[in-house]
Amino acid sequence: MKRKYITVPAALLCISILAGCQETPENSIVKQKGSDNIKEYESSEGSIHDMVKAPETYKNLSSYENGALVIDTDAEVILPEVASINTYNVSAQEADQEMIDKVTDIFFKGDKIYHSYTYNVLTKDWYQADITRLKQYKAEGNTDPYEYGKDENGELHFNIDEVIAREEEFMAEAPDEVIKEEVKPCFGLEWVDGKGEEAQKVVDETEFRGMVETDHGIYSYDIISGTNTRDLKFDIEKKREDLPDERMFSIWQETRYLMDSEGDGYEPLSEDTIKKFLNISYEDAEKAAKDKISQLDWDWELTDWDYAVFKYGEEMTSEDNIMDSGYIFYFTRVVDEIPVTFTDSYGGALEDMDSTLIPWSYERCEIIVGDDGIQKVEIYNPYEVEGIQTENVKLMDFDSIIKIYEQMMEVSNADVTSFEKQRTYHIRKIKLGYARIYNPTVDNTAGILVPVWDFFGGFDSEMDEYSRKDSGEHSKRSFMTINALDGTVIDRELGY
């Protein structure tokens, strides 16, 4: 998302994160987290259902701060259909050439792959087309076509006359055509940045950026191994050939927030509207996604999905600026028939800006399929499952977990009235599944898969300048994650 699209959600998210960083109170029934958070757990002879004793649904309405904070829980309770559950040691797979070749062959076997730094060089024709378009905007009286707005002095951030003049200079030196350099995806490729005496040789030791020409379109293909993180990402996206203006903001968006959110003039996007732009069946899209991901042999299975829309333009997403629609599929690791629970959190955050730790985000896989095939793929941080840490672990009963949840929802939102006049949470799903935790102060390449309870939903927020509602009906955002073994509250953003 970009600029004004994220203004309200981002503000609410920041407030929620700040509110969620409260210290555990001394009289809390929650165990304080510490350096021994990664440990051996106790085994049990009982089954999951016997230990947990969870109902099929759970309802409760709690009000705090004279009604300024309301926790409305009306949720389905979901347990895995297995008799027992283990904890597993996992580690980060090495980002070596073998892995790069494997992913490349699955998605682009036999296709021509080029270095993006040569492929995306701007030619005289490109500059001429852009200059013509900008002059057309100006002639129409549209001097801020991309809605960058004005600075504190009232001057436009996007000075259309300066851009035109600059591009006319660049066009004079631009090549007539692109000279494409075919490459093999790998780290360590060289390229030249700048021209003449200012030219410098650059070696990409931790990333590869390429473009791929296939029979069904052109794709960007980026592989990035973090320098200040332990993260590895494969990022594939199909290039749109139907954009009226490449400068204009465009993005694939998951629809769950678009369908659940309303307020300040924004109306929820209906499922019927989304389906107007769908020209592929769910079954065909699912098959296309599974055919690719199954070849990775990483024990990833399809565990959730959503609609996705491709929007073009600066306005909030609506039927008027949607160009395309498809399905987004979420694949997670499944161990002993128990999936790692998918949430919106990527993990790998730092506790503060002064931290010197090197974080490690979660394993993650998302793929968008539209009517003309795969549109976008994101693969993060594949794990290596090292083996069972503790077999048939003992779980806390559901009533104990709920007491922790209800207390900590109040505690973690204790200062919400400092930012908002009123907030109401809608918790609509409570799920038991795996999550990876780790201790970055000990090892940022190893962790444990442990069973956790996640509480999914949305919230309504009222502030002086705006109000926003989110029913949480389609939410994949967990507002509380509790270790099912010892009651520790896990910070999803940190990963422990």
Residuewise pLDDT in 10s, the chain (496 residues): 333 333 333 333 333 433 334 444 444 444 445 434 556 687 777 678 888 999 999 999 999 999 999 999 999 999 999 999 999 999 999 989 999 999 999 999 999 999 999 999 999 999 999 999 999 999 999 999 998 999 999 999 999 999 999 999 999 999 999 999 999 999 999 988 877 777 888 899 999 999 999 999 999 999 999 877 889 999 999 999 999 999 999 999 999 999 999 987 788 999 999 999 999 999 999 999 999 999 999 999 999 999 999 999 988 999 999 999 999 999 999 999 999 999 999 999 998 888 889 999 999 999 999 999 999 999 999 999 999 999 999 999 999 999 999 999 999 999 998 989 999 999 999 999 999 999 999 999 999 999 999 999 999 999 988 899 999 999 999 999 999 999 999 999 999 9
- State the Cα–Cα distance between residues 469 and 454, nearest whole angstrom: 21
Find the angle CA(220)-CA(343)-CA(370) to the nearest 5 degrees. 40
Q: In sequence order, what DSSP letters do the residues of 230-290 get, joined into one string?
A: S-EEEEEEEPPS--S-TTS-EEEEESHHHHHEEBTTBPPPPHHHHHHT--S-HHHHHHHHH
Q: Per DSSP, what are the bridge partners of residue 313?
A: none
Q: What is the DSSP letter of 493?
A: T
Are 219 and 244 in the same domain? yes
- Domain membership of residue 308 (yes or no) is yes
For residues 209 and 357, membership in a common domain is answered with yes
Q: How far is CA 370 from the centre of its chain?
A: 19
Domain boundary among 359, 386, 413: 386
- Residues with Cβ within 8 Å of 444's Cβ and at least 6 positions away in sequence, in order, are 230, 357, 358, 359, 360, 438
What pLDDT score was predicted for residue 122? 95
CA distance 308 to 325: 6
What is the spatial distance between Cα 371 and Cα 390, in angstroms, rounded to a whole number? 45
Looking at residue 192, its pLDDT comes to: 84
Residue 496, in any domain of the structure: no
Whether 238 and 355 share a structural domain: yes
- In residues, how long is the chain? 496
Q: What is the pLDDT of residues 241-278, one digit of tens each?
A: 999 999 999 999 999 999 999 987 788 999 999 999 99
Residue 318 shares a structural domain with residue 222: yes
pLDDT at position 38, please? Answer: 58
Identify the pLDDT of residue 27: 43
Position 495 in a domain: no
Tell me whether residue 367 is in a domain.
yes
Say how far apart CA 211 and CA 218 lie, in whole Å. 7
Does residue 290 sit in the same domain as residue 273?
yes
Find, among 478, 208, 437, the residue nearest to 342 by Cα: 478
> Is the same domain home to 237 and 108?
yes
On whether residue 202 sits in a domain, the answer given is yes
Sign of CA dihedral 339, 342, 346, 351: negative
pLDDT of residue 44: 75
**Residue 107 lies inside a defined structural domain of this protein:** yes
**Cβ atoms of 80 and 337 closer than 8 Å:** yes
Looking at the structure, do residues 98 and 236 belong to the same domain, yes or no?
A: yes
> Cα–Cα distances in Å, from 340 out to 253, 331, 393, 431?
23, 9, 16, 11
- Classified as helix, coil or strand, 98 is helix
> For residue 230, what pLDDT is reported?
83
Q: Which of 360, 386, 412 is the last residue of a domain?
A: 386
Phi, psi of 332 (to 5 degrees): -130, 160
Amino acid 26: pLDDT: 45
Same domain, 210 and 98: yes
* Residues 6+ away with beta carbon under 8 Å from 116: 209, 210, 211, 220, 222
Q: Is residue 359 part of a domain?
A: yes
State whether residue 394 is helix, strand or coil. coil
Closest CA to 249 of 10, 7, 2, 6: 2
Q: Show which of 351, 386, 421 is a domain's final residue.
A: 386
Give a yes or no: residue 446 inside a domain.
yes
- Helix count and strand count (H, E) for the chain: 10, 22
Same domain, 472 and 400: yes
459 within 8 A of 480, measured Cβ to Cβ: no
Closest of 54, 16, 165, 43 to residue 491, by C-alpha: 16
User: Is 432:339 a contact under the CB 8 Å cutoff?
Assistant: no
- Domain count of the fold of the chain: 3
**DSSP 8-state assignment for residue 147:** -
Amino acid at 81: E
Q: CA–CA separation, 489 vs 407, rounded Å?
A: 11
Q: What is the dihedral of CA 286, 337, 335, 490, to 10 degrees?
A: 90
Quick one: tokens of 363?
A: 């394993």
Q: Are residues 237 and 288 in the same domain?
A: yes
Do residues 265 and 303 touch, judged by C-beta distance below 8 A?
Answer: no
Q: Show the domain range for 369.
A: 93-122+178-386
pLDDT in tens, 371-408: 999 999 999 999 999 999 999 999 999 999 999 999 99
In a shared domain, residues 62 and 205: no
Q: Is the same domain home to 86 and 97?
A: no
